[in-house]
Homo-oligomer: A and B are copies of this chain.
Amino acid sequence: MVRPLVALMALLMTAFWAVGQARKDTRPNIVLIVADDHGREAVGCYGNPAIKTPHIDQLAAEGTRFTNAFCTTASCSPSRSVLLTGLHNHANGMYGLEHREHHFSSFDTVRSLPVLLGQAGYRTARIGKFHVAPERAYQFQQVLKRGGTNDPASIGRSPVEMADLCYSLFSEVSEKPFFLYFATDDPHRSNAVAANGSPVFKSDQANRFGNRPGGYPQVHDVFYQPFQVSVPPYLPDTRATRQELAQYYEAVSRLDQGVERLVALLKETGQYDHTVIVYLSDNGAPFPGSKTTLYEPGMRLPLIVKLPKPQKPGFVQDAMVSWVDLMPTLLDFAGALPDTVYRQGRSFKAILEQENVTGWDEVYGSHSLHEVTMYYPMRVLRERRYKLIFNLAHALPFPMALDLYHSLTWQDVRQAGRKQYGKRSVEAFLHRPRFELYDLQTDPDEVRNLANDPKYRAELQRMQAKLKRFQQQTKDLWISKWEFE
């Protein structure tokens, strides 16, 4: 039903494109695609031979693919708040999840990306998952929604339909460029919810990650068999893990088709060559060992930037950037970077296609909570070779998100009484020391903690001093823990 309509409208609107393209405001449109829990290891162009993500890969083939891009906190709401404020979560108030009883929200005073782009003359619209608060601080001019239907399922699981709903924005005749925030629910785990709003978990079967019989409008299901998936080193290679990864891949391939449609519509409406497209994820895959941790699988993520007119299609950028850098970058594209630099990141616009960049060799991470019961602040300095993790509440067992705790992958490990979980022991995963120092060159899986090794004492102290300075500079309340705990 929708497809012919779209084609028809495209035809009818053709006459107007000249106007759109001739607009005086030559600043690019911006499309920011935020996937939910899409780990870097589950993308074709990042080296996974089994998963099918041809359209994300195509974006990378035409644009710039970052190999050292990091979120600063591997938790949904906090990470999105970082993307949209250019401030670490400890500085914008979004210390944990926004929804239900967790109920975190940013300070009213934050100046967010949609608000600043709106002030800079952009049309701003969002669709799909929001998960930040308060709404007035993160105000978009338009919220694109499925209309006239009582289908209770979130639009965020129906990525092609989501893309179709953006057509009105792309085709609107306007002097102004647009900013679209396109946030899918895929490939997050699907959690059933009881009548009273409490989540319901089925720990004895693979999660479906939103996959459902009959699929979603205009999505052709891509199925995977457990034997086909690649199990990353942080996960145990079990039947349980493989079953869940197969489901996870299916959700990723659905998401990929949303990207396909979005690109197709940008082309149909003549906007593609006037648009910066960014593809990234809020945090790593929804498995213990990735999401909610600041280990590499949790924080090192896909980042693809497709420029309106790429000079070096398929460029691979190894500069280290993080999600605090995204807002300054997008403001930079909009010519709206404030003179007063109160942001905690910096624009990487200038280096998008630049080889051998210097001065992009470290990122900082800051995690506070996920669910409100999951207090486990961590501060991280990630350099090219070494990584220091400061576990502020290290005396507590590492808290598990309810959906990860109840996952088949984890319950299988518990019920089988396994001592090992991927490359780590279960014990090491659940009980962490105050400091973890890893040499990623010799130990990419972060299993040999060097923090107590006298040979690395100078390294440790150097990095501790940097981390503390970062906390001072970003007004981190938790800096008190150096003294108190």
Contact = CB atoms under 8 A, between A and B. Distances in A.
Chain B CB within 10 Å, residue with most, of A107, A375, A396: A375
A375 B373 CA distance: 9
Contacts of A397: 395, 484-485
A400 B484 contact: yes
B93 A101 contact: yes
A143 interface: no
A402 interface: yes
Interface stretch (A233-241, A330-338, A474-482): A474-482
Contact of A373 (B400, B402, B477): B477
A393 interface: yes
Interface in A435-485: 477-478, 480-481, 484-485
Contacts of A377: 373
Contacts of A481: 373
Contacts of A107: 101, 103
A422 interface: no
A146 B115 CA distance: 35
Interface hub of A400, A481, A485 (most chain B Cβ within 10 A): A485
Contacts of A372: 95, 477
The secondary structure that dominates the A interface is: loop
Interface of A: 93, 95, 101, 103, 105, 107, 371-373, 375, 377, 393, 395-397, 399-400, 402, 405, 477-478, 480-481, 484-485
Contacts of A371: 477
Contacts of A93: 101, 103
A405 B481 CA distance: 13
B399 A396 contact: no
Contacts of A480: 373, 402
A101 B477 contact: yes
A105 to B, nearest CB: 7
Contacts of A400: 484
Given A373-B481, A375-B393, A397-B485, 11 more contacts: A93-B101, A95-B103, A372-B477, A373-B477, A373-B480, A375-B375, A393-B393, A395-B395, A396-B396, A402-B480, A405-B484
Contacts of A399: 484-485
Contacts of A95: 103, 372
A196 to B, nearest CB: 9
Contacts of A393: 375, 393, 396
Nearest to A107: B103
A224 B377 CA distance: 44
23 contacts: A93-B101, A95-B372, A101-B107, A101-B477, A103-B107, A105-B105, A371-B477, A373-B377, A373-B477, A373-B478, A373-B480, A373-B481, A375-B375, A375-B393, A393-B393, A393-B396, A395-B395, A395-B396, A396-B485, A397-B484, A397-B485, A399-B485, A405-B484
